[in-house]
Structure formats: C-alpha cells, structure tokens
C-alpha cells in the first residue's frame, strides 16, 4: 500500500520521502507552464471534447504536445479530463481522440462514463485511467469495485471526510486523489441537472451554468383538498434569500493529515482561474507539503501562507466535509463573492543583473509610486515602491495602462522570468 514512508536518520529527525502529488488546474498552455513552473507535480487540462468545461480555452492536440514537452523537463504529468456522461451522439470520434492523447504523451485521463473507461483500455491502454469525482465515490466498497474494473486511481466525492479516506486506504490498495482547494459543486457531482432544467444546458456534458450560485426564495406551500395551495414566505423582506452556494474549499491546515493518510494526489480546482490564481495557490501548497515532509515533527503553518492564499481568493473559504458535515457557516447567504485583496499587475520577462532593471509584461494598471509585491518559486516575496518606469523604447512613462505592454523599471532584489508582480487592491 502506498503509505507515506518515513526515514529515520542518525540525528533521529523524521523526514517523509513519499510526498503526495500536487495536482493543479490548467485551462490553457500558459497556465500549464505557470502551474508546473510554480511547483505542481501534475496538471489536469481539458481537450476539445469530452470534458466538462466547454467555456474554458481547451487544448488542441498541438498544444497538448507542447505542454507534454514542457512538463517533461520538470518531471510533471499531464492528465486530460474526459469526464462527461456521454450521450449516444458523443461516441463519435472518441477512439481517435484517446489514441491521440496517448500519442502526444498524456499520462492519464480523468473519466466518469464506463463507455470512455472501456474504450480507453481498448484503444489507448498505456493511458492511466482515473475515476472522476463525477461518479461521487463515497465508500470503500465502491472504491473496490472500480479497482477491480482496472482503474489506476479514484478521485473521491467532495463529501468524503478524513476518517472515510483512512478506511478506504485501509480496505483498498488504489491511488486516491482528493480536492484540497477551490470552488466546488454543492451537490453530489454528477447528480445535479439544475442547469438542464433552468437553461437547457447539460451540466454533465460541460454546460453547467452554476444555477446553484443564484438566489431563490423559500416558501411553505399548504394544500387543502379542493383549494388552491396556500403559500407562506419563510423569510422577511430584509433577510438574505435562500442560496445553495457553499464557501470554496481550503484544506491548507489539513495537509499534514492528508500526507499521513497516504493520499496520493492533492488536487486544486479551477481551470477557469487566472495564472495569478494558479501560481499563488500552487506555490503556497508546494511550500506546505515540502515543509511538512521535510520536518513533520516540527511543522507549523506559517501565517504568511494563509495571507498569501487570500491574495487571490474571490470567495470566503472553509474545510467543507473534511471533519464534519458542513453547517450554515460554510454556506454563503446574501453576498456571493468578495474581491481578492491583491491584483496581478505584471509578469516578469527578463531581469538584467548588471543594471537591476526588470522587463515586465503589463497585466493590469499600475503607476510610478505604487507599492508592489513580487513572488515566484525562486524568490522570497518582497515589496517595493516603483520609481521611474520606461516603455519598450526607453521613454519614461508615469503609468502602465496598456494590457500586455512591455515596461521596465529598477528593482532592489533579483527576480526571474515568470515571477509575478501584484499590487494591493483597494475596495470601497
């Protein structure tokens, strides 16, 4: 069984050598590169078909091949989501699609429909097959069933808690992947068709319109024989309406328990999120996993990590089902989002060590005099005030206001390409 193995060295310092995989979302080739560069051991992406985010910029075959080559340099794996519940008409082209994934070097697929599982085993047998959370796997007998069906890994239902994961690990020898961070279905995944009914978009084929994030109004309806039903409001005028919206998942504090439980892959959700989100979340969890495994007996959560996660969060977070069934504090009534407290404003292209001048691509408005923060896998976060800014031709400018504009200015510390610059966000 793949348990976290420990090594005892001469000074009796315990070290965990078998780290879980840190799995990140990548909605585009740029996000894939960022995720891997910032420390993800694997990324999951969507192709042109058979996936559940029909609105994401999904990958072409050529982009996948480029992603595979890039990831290979870091020893990272790429998984492709093919987790629709197919209708008859979706069967066309499936074999060719899976053969192509195998050909470009994809490591595995994430899948819910037995049609796709069995087709993959037949036509692309070297691909790993991972069972999607769309199957809402919630008990170890069901895990055992899928193990017997030849799956390499299962992604658990979001409703499974730590105790249940431990029992699954004890009873079945299979790789387990679980969500640690991000937005999630409030329903059992795969068991919600609100979108089909409300907007004629098929939620289980990538059309989910997130009706669960909308407001509704709760009434009691009394029926007496032969009379029109009588409705009573169950809220007052100034009450928040009924909502199903859950807070986003955040299991940063639970990482040690997940590592100790031998969970094989820790998954971050969010293929639609920005590169700044991916970079921030991946780098924080990278640090948590590495710090815990390096010295589990003296591990403490660094408050900076939690602050860092808040810089890209657009909704409040909670641990969901990890310890208990969530109560009302894990739900969101009234306000459904918050603004992140930092904006991503620039991506480092180059740094000249002789002149200490950084070359940046502008990603959001900033100006001379702003206090900005840099972060990235090679550096410790630092803040500084921007002095003179130059444009590409060397002309002095006061403000960087054009998207993707190339600008330069001096820095006190060294930075590296792909490092990011963010600025505190002020909200009214």
Q: How many residues of this chain bind another protein (CB under 8 A)?
A: 77
User: Could you identify the residue written with the tokens 């005030």?
Assistant: 385
Shortest separation between residue 193's beta carbon and another protein, angstroms: 5
Which residues within the stretch 225-254 sit at the binding site for another protein (CB under 8 A)? 228-229, 231, 234-235, 239-240, 242-244, 246
Distance (Å, whole) CA 102 – CA 95: 11
What b/e string do you get for 146-179 counting C-beta neighbours within 10 Å, with b at 16 or more?
bbeeebebbbbbbbbbbebbbebbeebebbbbbb
Distance (Å, whole) CA 418 – CA 378: 10
Site string for another protein, 256-275 (x = CB under 8 A): --------------------
Which residues within the stretch 359-418 sit at the binding site for another protein (CB under 8 A)? none
Distance (Å, whole) CA 57 – CA 211: 22
Which residues within the stretch 111-170 sit at the binding site for another protein (CB under 8 A)? 112-115, 118, 134, 136, 138-142, 144-146, 157, 159-160, 164, 167-168
Report CA-CA distances (Å) from 181 to 48, 79, 138: 25, 18, 19
Helix (H, G, I), strand (E, B) or coil at 307: helix
- Cβ atoms of 248 and 317 within 8 Å: the answer is yes
Q: 137-143: long-range contacts (C-beta < 8 A, 24 or more apart)? A: 138/164, 138/188, 139/164, 139/168, 140/164, 140/167, 140/168, 140/170, 140/171, 140/172, 143/168, 143/171, 143/172, 143/174, 143/176
DSSP 101: H
Shortest separation between residue 259's beta carbon and another protein, angstroms: 21
Which residues within the stretch 327-356 sit at the binding site for another protein (CB under 8 A)? 327-328, 330-331, 333
> Does the protein bind another protein through residue 96 (CB under 8 A)?
no
Which residues within the stretch 29-68 sit at the binding site for another protein (CB under 8 A)? 54
The Cβ-side half-sphere exposure at 140, using a 13 Å CA radius, reads 14
Q: Please identify, among the stretches 69-77, 107-115, 277-285, 394-402, the one whose residues bind another protein according to the rule CB under 8 A.
A: 107-115
> Does the protein bind another protein through residue 88 (CB under 8 A)?
yes
Binding-site member from 105, 296, 326, 417 for another protein (CB under 8 A): 326
> Does the protein bind another protein through residue 218 (CB under 8 A)?
yes
For another protein, which is the closer residue by CB, 184 or 358?
Answer: 184
Binding-site member from 212, 259, 278, 312 for another protein (CB under 8 A): 212
For another protein, which is the closer residue by CB, 196 or 418?
Answer: 196
Shortest separation between residue 164's beta carbon and another protein, angstroms: 5
Shortest separation between residue 344's beta carbon and another protein, angstroms: 30
Shortest separation between residue 118's beta carbon and another protein, angstroms: 7
Shortest separation between residue 229's beta carbon and another protein, angstroms: 5
User: Could you identify the residue written with the tokens 């923060």?
Assistant: 373
């Amino acid at each position: 069984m793949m348990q976290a193995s420990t090594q005892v060295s001469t000074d009796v310092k315990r070290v965990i050598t078998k780290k879980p995989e840190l799995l990140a979302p990548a909605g585009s080739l740029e996000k894939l590169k960022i995720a891997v560069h910032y420390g993800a051991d694997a990324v999951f992406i969507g192709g042109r078909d058979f996936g559940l985010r029909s609105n994401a910029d999904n990958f072409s075959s050529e982009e996948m091949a480029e992603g595979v080559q890039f990831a290979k340099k870091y020893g990272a794996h790429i998984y492709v989501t093919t987790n629709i519940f197919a209708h008859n008409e979706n069967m066309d082209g499936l074999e060719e699609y899976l053969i192509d994934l195998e050909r470009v070097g994809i490591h595995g697929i994430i899948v819910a429909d037995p049609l796709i599982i069995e087709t993959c085993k037949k036509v692309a047998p070297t691909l790993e097959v991972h069972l999607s959370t769309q199957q809402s796997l919630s008990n170890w007998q069901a895990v055992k069933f899928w193990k017997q069906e030849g799956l390499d890994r299962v992604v658990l239902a979001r409703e499974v808690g730590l105790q249940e994961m431990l029992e699954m690990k004890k009873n079945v020898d299979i790789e387990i992947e679980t969500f640690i961070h991000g937005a999630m279905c409030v329903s059992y995944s795969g068991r919600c068709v609100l979108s089909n009914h409300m907007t004629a978009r098929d939620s289980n084929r990538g059309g989910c319109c997130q009706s669960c994030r909308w407001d509704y109004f709760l009434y009691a309806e009394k029926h007496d024989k032969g009379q029109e039903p009588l409705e009573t409001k169950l809220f007052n005028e100034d009450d928040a309406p009924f909502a199903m919206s859950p807070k986003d998942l955040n299991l940063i504090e639970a990482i040690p328990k997940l590592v100790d439980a031998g969970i094989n892959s820790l998954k971050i959700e969010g293929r639609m999120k920005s590169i700044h989100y991916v970079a921030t979340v991946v780098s924080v969890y990278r640090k948590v996993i590495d710090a815990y495994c390096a010295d589990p007996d003296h591990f403490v959560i660094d408050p900076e990590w939690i602050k860092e996660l808040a810089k890209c969060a657009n909704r409040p977070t909670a641990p969901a089902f990890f310890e208990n069934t969530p109560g009302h504090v894990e739900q969101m009534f009234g306000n459904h989002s918050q603004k992140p407290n930092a904006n991503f404003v620039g991506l480092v292209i180059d740094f000249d060590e002789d002149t200490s001048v950084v070359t940046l691509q502008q990603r959001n408005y900033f100006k001379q005099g702003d206090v900005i923060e840099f972060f990235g896998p090679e550096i410790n976060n630092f803040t500084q005030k921007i002095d003179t800014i130059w444009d590409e031709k060397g002309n002095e400018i006061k403000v960087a206001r054009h998207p993707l504009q190339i600008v330069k200015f001096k820095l006190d510390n060294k930075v590296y390409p792909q490092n990011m610059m963010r600025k505190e966000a002020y909200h009214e």
